[in-house]
Amino acid sequence: MLVSATGPTVDQDEVARFAALAQKWWDTKGEFAPLHALNPVRLGFIRDRLCARHGRDPGAQRPLEGLRLIDVGCGGGLLAEPLARMGAEMVAIDAAAENIGTARAHAEQAGVAVDYRCVTAEAVAAAGERFDGVVAMEIVEHVADVDAFMAALADLARPGAPVFMATLNRTLKARALAVFLAERVLRWLPPGTHDWRKFLKPHELARAMRHAGLIPRALVGVTYNPLGNSWRVSRDTDINYMMMAEKPGE
Amino acid sequence: MLPPMSDLTVETRVDIVIVGGGLVGMTLAAALGHAGISCAVIDAEDPATASADIFDGRVFAIALSVQRMMAAIGLWPHVAETQPIEEIRVSDGASPLFLHYDHRELGDEPLGHMVESRMLRRALYRRLADLPMVRLHAPMKVARLDRDIDGVTAELADGSVVTGRLCVAADGRDSPLRRAAGIKSIAWRYRQSGIVCAVAHEKPHRGIAHERFLPAGPFAILPMTGNRSSLVWTEPTDLARVLVGLPADEFHAEMRRRFGDFLGATEVVGPRWSYPLAFHHAERYIDRRLALVGDAAHLMHPIAGQGLNAGLRDVAALAEAIVNADRLGLDVGGDDVLRRYQRWRHADNTMMLAVTDVLNRLFSNDIWPVKLARDLGLAAVNRLPPLRRLFMRHAMGTVGHLPRLLKGEAL
């Protein structure tokens, strides 16, 4: 009876570990504080553009009701949960099982419905699933093959649907801040994950988008305001920027 | 066997738990409920007593911007017997120099409205009755409040439980919630008390408010509906107590000496009472999943009639921060919301508190050089139209970086 005795214990340990990790991810004053500070700007960008496309009022409650979205590289679910609360039917994926376990634990506790899966974008695209919007924030700088990744994102989008991306620019300014960005903003990543030479300039990201058959539609900079520890949208794309591309068709 | 008590507990889940159902707490509930945010108001007072039909003597000046908010949340149409303030005349004792604010200088809208406290309460109950997102627990006390990383849990005196994302302390100047959170407050008492009563008079007031600076402190005559005015009359605390206790005819004679005969025959109507004037300002308005609003956060001298207006401006700013977070699917009780609220209101209230305190100290004396200086100051403001208009806009509350509600816009 040794197996049945240890089985539940192991599960309990897993649950406790994920719960502890979730607390870390979601502590707005903790390790991920800078990511939480970035969240309103990103969510606003995604929401406002989806609302414009579907003729909805971004100030309404649950403005994304009924839209099926996918968050690629969801981490602890910092974007996926608010998007689900805005009414979106949410699928969120991450290659790291630990992130998925963490995100799931938190969503369950918060009572938010998100379909978390530990798979790659390519796998979901190959299974034929399509979405009204694709979100891939702060992830393209980590992938080995940008073109293959972008093709998968393009596949996930329904005709006419937007693809939202955010990443770091390959400028001296970004490089100067890379230590800060990598260690403070993106601290959960093991050291050396952010290779400055792999950062994409906006026109390079746009080219990759076009190469995958997407049409780049919007580019905005995101700048940090140390007073008040907040980020805001600006025209300065030198450090961090967000882009939206559209899949042609309809 | 009976199941344990916890299984029988009634639990209500809302976004915002508002402790205190005074004018500020209830207006916040109306603003949030109007924007579709669920909230529970827990108030110790019985609604039947709180909105009794009898006039209790309390009247408030509602600034134009606050009136716009009340309109934007569907509250103003329920407010009965509102008296527009068309002009304000400020004078220093018997000095011939005075300052004159006339709303016509800025447009068609009055500077503000005088409204009886009971009319505001009645309007709030009516408005809240139409808002399915708002639940009123009254008369009811909070037995215990827990605030942690994930939310707040309020255990009520009847054993039921209300949980939420954020607790708002609208529990008055002595705010038990502020004390429990260990938030310090700078506080002092003035040696003055405010005597409050209503006066019926023979001649119409034509919507003119008078603020007279007498040596003991400000004496304000504020227009009410009909041929009635509300008095806010400042005296040293011991004298105020004596005055309020006088027989009706003697009290009237004392009142009349200061009021004058410009509105013909007068009569004191309704109750009269006095309250000691005090000052306090919380060093911060926020703690984990807690926001202080209104008197719980600040208490100012009534010299400018801005106490309730300041509390309702807190409401406008907090409601906007909450709704903005909600519309992004974010935590409505998160640090972001709280920090934004505090940044918005703390500095603004600090300024208002300082101005009211300094004005009172400047005017509540009979030292001749001070009197000369302030009279020249009043006359100067009166002769400089841009400055005069700026002061008027401050009284109307339309200056600065305003929350959307105070501009009359929806959230």
Residues B239-273: pLDDT tens digits? 999 999 999 999 999 999 999 999 999 999 989 98
- CA A117, A119, A122, A123 dihedral sign is negative
User: What residues have CB less than 8 Å from B356, skipping those under 6 apart?
Assistant: B300, B301, B303, B304, B306
Q: Which helix (H) or strand (E) holds B343?
A: helix B335-363
Residue B203 near residue B209, CB atoms below 8 Å: no
Contacts A83 to B, Cβ<8 Å: 329
Write out chain A in H/E/C secondary structure.
CHHHHHHHHHHHHHHHHHHHHHHHHHCCCCCCHHHHHHHHHHHHHHHHHHHHHHCCCCCCCCCCCCCEEEEECCCCCCCHHHHHHCCCEEEEECCCHHHHHHHHHHHHHHCCCCEEECCCHHHHHHCCCCECEEEEECCHHHCCCHHHHHHHHHHHECCCCEEEEEEECCCHHHHHCHHHHHHHHCCCCCCCCCCHHHCCCHHHHHHHHHHCCCEEEEEEEEEEECCCCEEEEECCCCCEEEEEEECCCC
Contact B328 A109 (CB under 8 A): no
Reported pTM? 0.89
* Nearest residue on chain A to B320, alpha-carbon basis: A59
Q: Does the distance separating the beta carbons of A39 and B327 come in below 8 Å? A: no
Picking from B36, B329, B336, the nearest residue to A86 by CB comes out as B329
- The Cα–Cα gap between A99 and A40 comes to 21
Contacts of residue B62, defined as CB under 8 A and 6 or more positions apart, other chains included, come to: B70, B82, B112, B113, B114, B115, B308, B309
The full DSSP string for B219-241 is EEEEEETTTEEEEEEEEEHHHHH
Structure tokens, B200: 């019926």
Is the CB of residue A238 less than 8 Å from the CB of residue A169?
yes
What's the confidence (pLDDT) of residue B399? 79
A 10-49 near B (Cβ less than 8 A): 23, 26-29, 36-37, 39-40, 43-44, 47
Q: DSSP readout, B301-321?
A: -GGGS-HHHHHHHHHHHHHHH
CA distances from B396 to A159, B64, B87, B210, B310 (A): 53, 5, 12, 16, 12
Please name the member of B324, B335, B411 whose beta carbon is closest to the beta carbon of A28: B335
Mean pLDDT (whole number) for B76-81: 96
Task: For residue A69, give how far its alpha carbon lies from the nearest alpha carbon of chain B (Å).
Answer: 14
Would you say A209 and A245 are in contact if contact means Cβ atoms under 8 Å apart? Answer: yes
SS3 at position B53:
coil
With a CB-CB cutoff of 8 Å, which residues 84-113 of chain A face chain B?
84-86, 109-110
CB proximity A226 to B under 8 Å: no
A and B: number of Cβ contacts within 8 A? 50
Nearest chain A residue to B410, by CA: A59
Helix axis angle for B307-327 and B23-34, nearest 10°, is 30
Residues of B in contact with A23 (CB under 8 A): 149
Range of the domain at A225: 2-246
pLDDT at A3: 34
Alpha-carbon distance A64 to nearest alpha carbon in chain B (angstroms): 10
Whether residue A244 lies within 8 A of chain B, CB to CB, comes out as no
- Give B40 to chain A, closest Cα distance, Å: 19
Among B328, B336, B339, beta carbon nearest to A47: B328
Is B76 within 8 Å of B18 (Cβ atoms)? no
Q: Are A187 and A179 in contact (CB under 8 A)?
A: no
Q: Which residues pair with B232 in a beta bridge?
A: B196, B220
Distance from CA of B6 to the nearest CA of A (A): 20
Cβ–Cβ of A81/B329 closer than 8 Å?
yes
What is the model's pLDDT at position A179? 56
User: A45 to chain B: which residues are within 8 Å by CB?
Assistant: none
d(CA B3, CA B9): 11
pLDDT tens per residue, range B90-146: 888 767 667 888 887 788 889 899 999 999 999 999 999 999 999 999 999 999 999
Residue among B333, B47, B362, B381 at smallest CA distance from B164 = B333
**Whole-angstrom distance, CA of residue A105 vs CA of residue A88:** 19
Torsion region of B6: left, alpha or beta (phi above 0 gives left; psi -120 to 50 gives alpha): alpha
Determine which of A142-146, B62-66, B204-208, B244-248 has the lowest per-residue pLDDT on average.
Answer: A142-146
Q: Do you find a cis peptide bond into A226, omega within 30 degrees of 0?
A: no
**Of A177-186, B11-20, B83-92, B338-347, which gets the smallest average pLDDT?**
A177-186
Given an 8 Å threshold on Cβ–Cβ distance, is A39 in contact with B330? yes
State how far the alpha carbon of B117 is from the alpha carbons of A12, A167, B57, B82, B140, in Å: 57, 55, 8, 11, 21
Q: Per this entry, what is the length of chain A?
A: 250
pLDDT by position in tens, chain A (length 250): 333 333 344 466 767 777 777 778 888 777 777 778 889 999 999 999 999 999 999 999 999 999 999 999 998 999 999 999 999 999 999 988 988 999 999 999 888 999 999 999 999 999 999 999 999 998 888 888 899 999 999 999 999 999 999 988 887 777 666 556 655 555 444 455 556 677 889 999 999 999 999 999 999 999 877 666 678 888 988 888 999 999 998 6
Nearest to B309 by CA among B89, B63, B32: B63
CB B101 within 8 A of CB B61: no
CA atoms within 13 A on the CB side of B400: 18
For residue B41, pLDDT over 90 is answered with yes
- Number of domains present in the structure of chain A: 1
Strands of B10-160 (E only): list them.
11-13, 16-19, 39-42, 59-63, 83-85, 87-92, 98-102, 112-116, 134-137, 142-148, 151-156
CA B19, CA B137: separation in Å to the nearest integer? 10
Domain CATH for A113: 3.40.50.150
Closest CA to B15 of B45, B31, B37, B30: B37
> How many CA atoms are closer than 13 Å to the CA of B317, on its beta-carbon side?
26
**What is the per-residue pLDDT for B146?**
96
Check B330 against A63: CB less than 8 A apart: no
Number of Cβ within 10 Å of residue A215's Cβ equals 14
- Nearest C-alpha of chain A: how many angstroms from B325? 8
**Contact predicate A63/A56, CB 8 Å:** yes
CB B109 within 8 A of CB B103: yes
Structure tokens at B36: 């579709």
CATH number assigned to the domain covering B8-80+115-187+280-364+400-407? 3.50.50.60
The answer to whether residues B215 and B236 touch, using CB atoms and an 8 Å cutoff, is no
Predicted local confidence at residue A190, as pLDDT: 46
Q: Which of B126, B101, B106, B97 is nearest to B26 (CA)?
A: B126
Say what the pLDDT of residue A2 is.
34
B151 Cβ partners below 8 Å, 6+ apart? B163, B164, B165, B289, B333
Q: Are B202 and B192 in contact (CB under 8 A)?
A: no
